[in-house]
Amino acid sequence: MEQERHTEIVAGNRDVIVINRRSFFGTLVAIGSAGMGAFLAIPVLRYVLYPLYAKAAGTQWSDVGDMSEFTADKAPVRKTITFAQRDGWREVVSAQSVYVTRNAAGQLEVLSSICPHLGCSVSWQKAQNDFLCPCHGSVFEPDGKYVSGPAPRGMDPLPIRTKNGKLQVRFEYFRSNVPNQEKLS
């Protein structure tokens, strides 16, 4: 055992610390193993934690219908669209209703049917020529402008474009019950 002594440190007259060769190499192997384990764990940790730092990807463009369906003299038309959203590892396919209408200048608009008050589905009333939310009675003009009721703003317009003769929309969600449109990711 005396031969294995590598170092002796004498502190004062009493304390003696002895590090023998076997424990020195044992410590080196332990440190090396821990470092290698941590190195190999990095990709696994990144994969496991990915949903925590990844932002939900926005929706893609969805077909609403042929442009020929939406003539200038028509009342708002209700359409159901489908779209995919990526949230962490999952891809969620959703369906939502929208209204195709025209603004005061005669330009096409697509409005979300989600009431900006607390999220009920708004209905078109042909006889009254307005939109009504059945939950708390908010009323909106044919172009989505606020008329009355507890909703803090008008119906939410959505981004639109035309492609190959089709009207397309990118569905978005907005914060409920706030006066200005705030997009949710």
For ligand FES, the closer of residues 103 and 121 by Cβ is 121
* Dist CA 73 CA 39 (whole Å): 66
Minimum CB distance to ligand FES, residue 122 (Å): 7
For ligand FES, the closer of residues 153 and 167 by Cβ is 153
**Number of residues lying near ligand FES (CB under 6 A):** 12
Could you tell me the two tokens for 171?
């569905």
x/- mask, ligand FES, residues 11-50, rule CB under 6 A, reads ----------------------------------------
CA-CA-CA-CA torsion for 26, 27, 28, 31, nearest 10 degrees? Answer: 120
Minimum CB distance to ligand FES, residue 139 (Å): 9
If you search the block for the tokens 């569905």, which residue do you land on?
Answer: 171
Minimum CB distance to ligand FES, residue 147 (Å): 12
* Interactions with ligand FES, residue window 104-163 (CB under 6 A): 115, 117-120, 133, 135-136, 138, 149-151
Minimum CB distance to ligand FES, residue 177 (Å): 8
Minimum CB distance to ligand FES, residue 132 (Å): 9
Closest CA to 74 of 102, 93, 107, 33: 102
* Dist CA 18 CA 4 (whole Å): 10
If you search the block for the tokens 């409005």, which residue do you land on?
Answer: 111
Within 8 A by CB and 6+ apart from 121, the residues are 97, 113, 114, 115, 133, 134
**Type of residue numbered 83:** F
Q: Can residue 98 be called a binding residue for ligand FES (CB under 6 A)? A: no
Residues that bind ligand FES (CB under 6 A): 115, 117-120, 133, 135-136, 138, 149-151
